Amino acid sequence: MKEQNDSPDRTSVSGRDARGAEIILRTKRRRAVFIAGLVAVVLLGLVLSLASFA
């Protein structure tokens, strides 16, 4: 099966629009959860790297 890339119903999207989503943290609770998640990932990485040396 062959796909057609030049179909007339395709919409053109600029690179700026297709780049990705913004992280919008409007409330203090959302900011705290986001930062806690980042800290958890870093701590998990440290624990796993230290566990490999033991």
pLDDT digits (tens, 9 = 90+) for 12-52: 877 777 777 777 889 999 999 999 999 999 999 999 999 88
Helix, strand counts (H, E) of the chain: 2, 0
Cα–Cα distance, 21 to 12 (Å, whole number): 18
Give me the residue label for tokens 């395709």.
10
Q: Residue 47: inside a domain, yes or no?
A: yes
Is residue 31 situated within a structural domain? yes
Say if residues 39 and 47 touch (Cβ distance below 8 Å): no
pLDDT of residue 23: 73
For residue 37, the enclosing domain spans 26-53
Residue 49 included in any domain: yes
- Residue 35 located in a structural domain: yes
| CA–CA gap between residue 54 and residue 46 (Å, rounded) | 13
Alpha carbon 31 to chain centroid, angstroms: 15
Domain count, the chain: 1
**Which pLDDT band, with edges at 50, 70 and 90, does 2 fall under?**
low
> What pLDDT sits at residue 4?
56
- At 54, is the pLDDT very low, low, confident or very high (cuts 50, 70, 90)? low
Does residue 36 lie within any of the structural domains?
A: yes
